[in-house]
Amino acid sequence: FGANSAAARDIANVLHPYTDLESHQQVGPVVITRGQGVRVWDEAGKEYIESVAGLWCAALGFDNERLVQAAVTQMRKLPFYHGFTAKSHEPMIDLAEMLIARAPVPMSKVFFANSGSEANDSAIKMVWYMNNALGRPLKKKIIGRVKGYHGITIGSASLTGLAANHRSFDVPLPGFLHANTPHHYHGARPGESEDDYATRCARELEDLILEEGPETVAAMWAEPVMGAGGVILPPRGYFPKIQAVLKKYDILMVADEVICGFWRTGTYWGSQSFDIQPDILVCAKALSSSFLPISAVMVNEPVFQAIAKESHTIGTFGHGFTYSGHPVPAAVAIETLKIYDDLDIGSHVAVTGPHMQAELQRRFAGHPLVGEVRGIGLIGAIELVADKAAHANFPPAAKVGPRLSRLCEENGVIGRTLANDVLAFSPPLIMTKDEIDEMLTRVGKALDELTVQLRR
């Protein structure tokens, strides 16, 4: 690329997340310049299908005039106001009302933030604050899960159960625990059914709680489907079983719906696909189809009452962001939720989701490199393995996943590979069956090219 190209200026000026920054100085970025529907184009005019909707988030794709108009109209009317010290504005109120009306279980109030990480940090602080109100200052430990992903701020990174988000950052903070990853494919014993495996996961969770002391454990966080940790679906019956354990010890269930919310798993919330009854629900990403940043924390009535009591005792709920419930992203989120309703996106995903799952199975389950094909609704994955019988992954040093990502790009798909060489699919919810087929045909070519490379 030329000295003045966007790529060269990027190398000179930008510090990128999730990147080997030394290599980046030589290789440079793919600079995306425009988008339309489920596709984006780079500087050179090359077209790509976005198989993960950016970062599991651009649910309505990469252009939408109604969302543009919603932002422009709100900017003209009231470009900024806040919710501190009992001020409010209509976009924040309307959006809170819409979320409560759509919640999977009765919810009482909504707190707004700007990102999934901030929403999870806010929920952690709410849980701590609540237990102060309830006179149990020791009940503060929080359980995440190994391979869970909840963000990268200090609190949410502590909840996250991925080594790459801990290493060299001095997290997790004390008091954050991680339960086992409930992945039947890797975790089950020979012959162990999904049901038996789920029972064992619940028993292991109970052992962890008893070891720590139930009076010290406040809440457990879980994504309905683990996203960044590898698109891992819980074994059948997992959530009812672990929720019985949590109830027994008066431990809150927090659903991190940052990826799964808004029809991703085929139901409005991932919680509904897996029988989760959260006390607190966190969402972001598809809340605004990611046209502007906004996230939300919904809390049920008992949690709200405890927070209200503590705020009365000490005189304030001393937590909030300048941009909590910012009117412009809130207006875009309201319009996004209306579009989901108007398009009847749930009925669309009821057709395209099973189609994507069936096509993933048909095209890839028998492939010599593919160990497991998994998914639900419009989220899915293929996991590559060195040994199909042993379910054994390639060594990380072989960089099989990154090589597959690169081949996908060469074939016109932006594809995200995760640890253990898992290629994730989380396309825009508007993707048609034909576009799914086109995406998977391109991925199939990339996979065949990778197979040839690995044979050499």
Query: Site residues (CB under 6 A) for ligand PLP?
Result: 55, 115-117, 120, 149-151, 223, 227-228, 256, 258-259, 284
Smallest Cα–Cα separation from 429: which of 52, 70, 34? 52
CB closer to ligand PLP out of 411 and 420:
420
Residue type, 425: F
CB closer to ligand PLP out of 329 and 371:
329
Instruction: State the Cα–Cα distance between residues 18 and 38, nearest whole angstrom.
Output: 23
Shortest distance (Å) from residue 283 CB to ligand PLP: 9
Residues in the chain: 456
Shortest distance (Å) from residue 362 CB to ligand PLP: 28
Shortest distance (Å) from residue 79 CB to ligand PLP: 23
CB closer to ligand PLP out of 133 and 152:
152
Q: Which residues lie closer than 8 Å to 439 by C-beta, 6 or more apart? A: 38, 49, 51, 413, 425, 427, 431
Placement of tokens 């899915």 in the chain: 380
Phi, psi torsion values for 364, nearest 5 degrees: -120, -20
The distance of Cα 152 from the centroid of its chain, to the nearest Å, equals: 12
Instruction: State the Cα–Cα distance between residues 413 and 427, nearest whole angstrom.
Output: 11
CB closer to ligand PLP out of 50 and 310:
50
Residue type, 303: V
Q: Which residues lie closer than 8 Å to 112 by C-beta, 6 or more apart? A: 83, 92, 95, 96, 294, 295, 296, 297, 324, 325, 326, 330
Shortest distance (Å) from residue 91 CB to ligand PLP: 20
| DSSP β-ladder status, 141-145 and 217-222 | parallel
CB closer to ligand PLP out of 412 and 428:
428
CB closer to ligand PLP out of 156 and 411:
156
Shortest distance (Å) from residue 104 CB to ligand PLP: 16
CB closer to ligand PLP out of 124 and 284:
284
Nearest residue to ligand PLP, by Cβ distance, number only: 116
Shortest distance (Å) from residue 257 CB to ligand PLP: 8
DSSP 114: S
Shortest distance (Å) from residue 266 CB to ligand PLP: 17
What would the two tokens of residue 372 be?
A: 């497991």
